[in-house]
Amino acid sequence: MTRTLWFAAGAGAGVYVMMRARRLAEAVTVDGLRDRANGALVGLRALREEVAVGQHEKETELRERFGPTPDGVPELPSSRQGSS
């Protein structure tokens, strides 16, 4: 029983190592590196778009909150409201 268990564990470990080695060998080929670089570029583009959307939303929120007055100068709330 114990030998069968160790044999199965060794065989499973061998298969796992072979699969990892095959994936690593594929990743360091020209096509694999190109795929990784393209994936990184897609991720960076998505990040850039998310940041741009966030900036636009925040700018809109701030313009609505502290929008310009009729004379063109934004009015900021004072920290001491009601005290003279």
Mean pLDDT of 56-80: 74
Rounded to whole angstroms, the Cα distance separating 27 from 62 reads 46
From residue 11, alpha-carbon distances to 21, 63, 65, 72, 80 in Å are 15, 65, 66, 76, 75
Structure tokens at 70: 């009729």
Over residues 6-14, mean pLDDT = 95
| pTM to 2 decimal places | 0.52
Query: Does residue 76 carry a pLDDT above 70?
Result: no
- Give per-residue pLDDT as tens, 39-56: 999 999 999 999 999 999
Q: Is the dihedral of CA 23, 27, 29, 31 positive or negative?
A: positive
DSSP structural state of residue 68 = B
**Domain locations in the chain?**
29-65
What's residue 71's pLDDT? Answer: 64
